[in-house]
C-alpha cells in the first residue's frame, strides 16, 4: 500500500499527533494547542519519519483549516494504492487525514467476499468499500450517502481501476430513508455494509447511540437476503465491542457472527489506552429459511 499510518498518537507514545503518508505526501493531524506546538518544534523528526521521497507535508489541526507546512500545498486529489486498488484521496477536505486508513484490511476482506454478490454500501463516503466490492467481482454495487461529492470521487476511483461506474448505482439519500423505501419495494442484497459516522461522540451520548445502532441494524437486516452477509462497523470508542454486539441481537435471532475485525497493525494501541481500539467490524451471516 502507498497509504499508511506512521504515528498513531498515544499508541506510539505521542498523544495528540497522527502522521499519515499518502504516496508522496504527508499529513499531520494535531489535537490541541500543545500537540501543535510540539509538532512545530520537532519538524525534523517529522521529515525523518517520512523520508526524503515526499513532496510536502500538510498540517491538519483539529481546530482550524489545513495548511501547507513543509513544502508546497498538496493537489486537490492524490491517487494511492491499497492492496492493488487505486483510490483517490482528498488531503485538504477529506475525512480524518484524507481517508479512512483504519478500514484498509476490512476493504480487502469485502473484496474477497464480493464475487457474484449484489452489494449495498451504506454511508459510502468516497466509496472505498464499493470500489473493493466491484473489483472483487460483485454483480452490482449500490452506494448510498447523503453527500453527492463522495459519489463523484468513488466514480473517478472506479475508472482508475478499469471499472465501469455506470453499471453500479450511486444514491444520494439519507440512509434510513433509503432503507425504508428499499424494504417496501422488496429489494434485497447479498452483502450489506454499514459503516456510519460515530453515533457516540462522547460518553453522554452512549446509550442513545446504542439504540441508534440497533435501529440501523434492524433496517439493514430487513434488506439482507437469506444466506447473505452483513458487515456492521462502528468507529465510536464510547461503544465497546460487547455493547456493539448487543445491537446485533435482533428478533428473530437469524444473524450469526462469522468474523470480528478491527483496525490494522499501523494503528497500534497500548494497555493504558484501550479507547484506541475503537474500530469494530463485525461480519455476520443470515440464516437460510428452513
Domain spans in the chain, listed from the N-terminal domain onward: 3-83, 100-286
| pLDDT band with cut points at 50, 70 and 90 for residue 201 | confident
Q: Is the pLDDT of residue 77 over 80?
A: yes
User: pLDDT tier at 109 (50, 70, 90 boundaries)?
Assistant: very high
Reported as a single tens digit per residue, the pLDDT across 229-246 is 999 999 999 999 999 999
Q: Any idea what the Cα angle at residue 274 is, between residues 273 and 277, rounded to 5°? A: 115
Beginning with the edge strand found earlier in the chain, give each strand of the sheet holding 56-61 in spatial order. 3-8, 17-22, 25-30, 56-61, 67-70
Kindly state the helix (H) or strand (E) to which residue 141 belongs, with its residue range.
strand 140-145
Q: What residue ranges in 146-223 does DSSP mark as E strands? A: 169-172, 189-194
CA-to-CA distance for 5 and 135, rounded, in angstroms? Answer: 24
- Cα–Cα distance, 248 to 151 (Å, whole number): 28
Superfamily of domain 3-83: RNA methyltransferase domain (HRMD) like (3.30.750.80)
Bridge partner list, 87: 80
Please give the average per-residue pLDDT across 248-265, as a whole number: 97
Place of cell 500545498: 73
* DSSP letter assigned to residue 73: P
Fold of the CATH domain 100-286: Rossmann fold (3.40.50)
pLDDT of residue 60: 93
- Among residues 57, 120, 175, 235, the one annotated as catalytic is 235
pTM of the model: 0.95
Residue 235 is among the residues annotated as catalytic for this protein: yes
Residue 10 in grid coordinates? 498515544
Least confident of 64-73, 119-128, 217-226, 237-246: 64-73
Amino acid at each position: 500500500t502507498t497509504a499508511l499510518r506512521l504515528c498513531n498518537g498515544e499508541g506510539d507514545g505521542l498523544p495528540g499527533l497522527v502522521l499519515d503518508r499518502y504516496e508522496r505526501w504527508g499529513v499531520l493531524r494535531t489535537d490541541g494547542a500543545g500537540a501543535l506546538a510540539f509538532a512545530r518544534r520537532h519538524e525534523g523528526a517529522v521529515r525523518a519519519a517520512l523520508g526524503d521521497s515526499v513532496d510536502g507535508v500538510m498540517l491538519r489541526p483539529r481546530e482550524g483549516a489545513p495548511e501547507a507546512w513543509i513544502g508546497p500545498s498538496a493537489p486537490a486529489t492524490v491517487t494511492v494504492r491499497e492492496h492493488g486498488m487505486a483510490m483517490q484521496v482528498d488531503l485538504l477536505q477529506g475525512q480524518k487525514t484524507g481517508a479512512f486508513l483504519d478500514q484498509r484490511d476490512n476493504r480487502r476482506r469485502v473484496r474477497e467476499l464480493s464475487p457474484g454478490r449484489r452489494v449495498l454500501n451504506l454511508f459510502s463516503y468516497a466509496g472505498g468499500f464499493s470500489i473493493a466490492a466491484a473489483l472483487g467481482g460483485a454483480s452490482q454495487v449500490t452506494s448510498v450517502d447523503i453527500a453527492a461529492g463522495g459519489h463523484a470521487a468513488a466514480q473517478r476511483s472506479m475508472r482508475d481501476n478499469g471499472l465501469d461506474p455506470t453499471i453500479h448505482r450511486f444514491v444520494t439519500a439519507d440512509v434510513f430513508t433509503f432503507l425504508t423505501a428499499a424494504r417496501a419495494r422488496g429489494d434485497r442484497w447479498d452483502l450489506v455494509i454499514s459503516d456510519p459516522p460515530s453515533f457516540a461522540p462522547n460518553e453522554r451520548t452512549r446509550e442513545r447511540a446504542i439504540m441508534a445502532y440497533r435501529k440501523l441494524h434492524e433496517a439493514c437486516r430487513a434488506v439482507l437476503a437469506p444466506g447473505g452477509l452483513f458487515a456492521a462497523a462502528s468507529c465510536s470508542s464510547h461503544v465497546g465491542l460487547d455493547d456493539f454486539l448487543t445491537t446485533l441481537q435482533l428478533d428473530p435471532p437469524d444473524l450469526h457472527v462469522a468474523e470480528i475485525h478491527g483496525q490494522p497493525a499501523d494503528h497500534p494501541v497500548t494497555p493504558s489506552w484501550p479507547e484506541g481500539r475503537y474500530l469494530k467490524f463485525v461480519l455476520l451471516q443470515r440464516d437460510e429459511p428452513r
